[in-house]
Amino acid sequence: MGRPAKALSGFNRTVGSNPTLSAMRVRSLGLLFALVAMCLVASPVVSARAECAVNYTVRRGDSWWSIAKSEGTSLKSVLTLNRAKTSTLIRPGETVCLPRKESATMPKYTQREVVEIIREIWPDELENHAIAIARRESKLQPSVIGIPNKCCYGLFQIYYRWHQHWLPKIGIVRARQLLDPRLNALAAYQIYLRNNGWGPWE
């Protein structure tokens, strides 16, 4: 038995051929696109390069690491600012964005203040000898860096590379921290204890 033509026509119609459903689908897609557009307008992407303080022109042989080191900043900061990875290629002549450098200004200390710092940190029976050594090594100037190879830092002219494996135990992780007279005096006293005497300065 055959079905009536009208019933057969309704049976064979696909969902996509339903004009009401098709119109609803078009309206839904239109609404979705409108919402996406509104979100993009309401939440603009802020370029990381807006924070760029210095433009650096890449030279032959440069790498992300060498640029960060030579400019006194961290590799992570440079990569973040340029939306790059260590694998991102850079070519001579290209411009790299660098962050603003932090102030490297050290507070000023009088010789009297330096002497008091040494007295606070060293035991009474050792403090006078310690002051004499600091006076000989740096003239009680905390910011002195050894010449010509910049090996030694601060009041007691501590050789950072020689001691850097244990200095983190007292909170010193960078050579320039030894330009703080209090940290330098503390490190010097630890060197005295580790060597059972004044050997490193004799």
pLDDT tens figures, 80-97: 889 999 899 999 999 998
Residues 72 and 116 occupy one common structural domain: no
Structural tokens at position 92: 């001579």
* CA atoms within 13 Å, Cβ hemisphere of 30: 6
Strand partners, 75: none
- The predicted model scores a pTM of 0.51
Region of poorest pLDDT, from 95-99, 105-109, 151-155, 195-199: 105-109
Residue 186 lies inside a defined structural domain of this protein:
yes
Residue 97 phi, psi (nearest 5): -90, 130
Residues 141 and 188 occupy one common structural domain: yes
- Residue ending a domain, among 69, 98, 127, is 98
Rounded to whole angstroms, how far apart are CA atoms 192 and 195?
A: 5
Dihedral over Cα of 7, 11, 17, 22: its sign: positive
Residue 156 lies inside a defined structural domain of this protein:
yes
Confidence of residue 200 (pLDDT cuts 50, 70, 90): very high
pLDDT for residue 50 is more than 80? no
Residue 38 lies inside a defined structural domain of this protein:
no
pLDDT averaged over the chain? 78
Rounded to whole angstroms, how far apart are CA atoms 120 and 33?
A: 70
The boundaries of the domain holding residue 60 are 48-98
Q: Are 156 and 187 in contact (CB under 8 A)?
A: yes
Residues 121 and 156 occupy one common structural domain: yes
The CATH number linked to 81 is 3.10.350.10
Residue 189 lies inside a defined structural domain of this protein:
yes
Q: Which amino acid is at 160?
A: Y
Residue 172 lies inside a defined structural domain of this protein:
yes
* Most confident range, picked from 43-47, 83-87, 96-100: 83-87
Residues 122 and 161 occupy one common structural domain: yes
pLDDT for residue 175 is more than 60? yes
Burial 110-129 (b: 16+ CB within 10 A, else e): eeeebbebbeebbeeeebee
Residues 116 and 90 occupy one common structural domain: no
What is the mean pLDDT of the segment spanning 131-159? 90
Residues 62 and 129 occupy one common structural domain: no
Q: How many domains does the chain fold into?
A: 2
Residues 70 and 117 occupy one common structural domain: no
Region of poorest pLDDT, from 38-47, 118-127, 145-154, 167-176: 38-47
Structural tokens at position 49: 């390069």
Residues 79 and 137 occupy one common structural domain: no
pLDDT in tens, 120-136: 999 999 999 999 999 99
3-state secondary structure of 100: coil
Residues 136 and 193 occupy one common structural domain: yes
